[in-house]
């Protein structure tokens, strides 16, 4: 059973290169104009994320261990 997509693809394949490029441009413009933009996440929403991982660790001690590992 041939789907709508298959029918459209066959139609596009029958176009010459210039027509295919024109269709591609017009389709891209259509999508830009008609697809709602996705909601953006604020960087501030990440505040405190993963804080439990660092609980009880001394920051300077951690950095010293990391720097020492670079030379190994």
Tokens of 14: 């029958």
pLDDT tens digits for 8-67? 999 999 999 999 999 999 999 998 888 777 777 788 988 888 888 888 899 999 999 999
Q: CA 33, CA 42: separation in Å to the nearest integer?
A: 24
DSSP calls for the chain:
---HHHHHHHHHHTS-HHHHHHHHHHHHHHHHHHSPPPPPPPGGGGTTTTGGGGTT--HHHHHHHHHHHHT-
Q: What is the pLDDT of residue 71?
A: 84
Q: What is the pLDDT of residue 7?
A: 95
pTM value?
0.46
pLDDT band for position 72 (cuts 50, 70, 90): confident
Q: What is the pLDDT of residue 61?
A: 93
């Amino acid at each position: 059973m041939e789907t709508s997509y298959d029918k459209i693809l066959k139609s596009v394949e029958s176009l010459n290169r210039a027509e295919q490029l024109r269709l591609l441009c017009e389709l891209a413009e259509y999508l830009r104009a008609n697809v709602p933009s996705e909601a953006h996440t604020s960087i501030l929403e990440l505040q405190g994320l993963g804080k439990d991982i660092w609980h009880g660790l001394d920051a300077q001690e951690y950095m010293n261990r990391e720097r020492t590992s670079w030379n190994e």
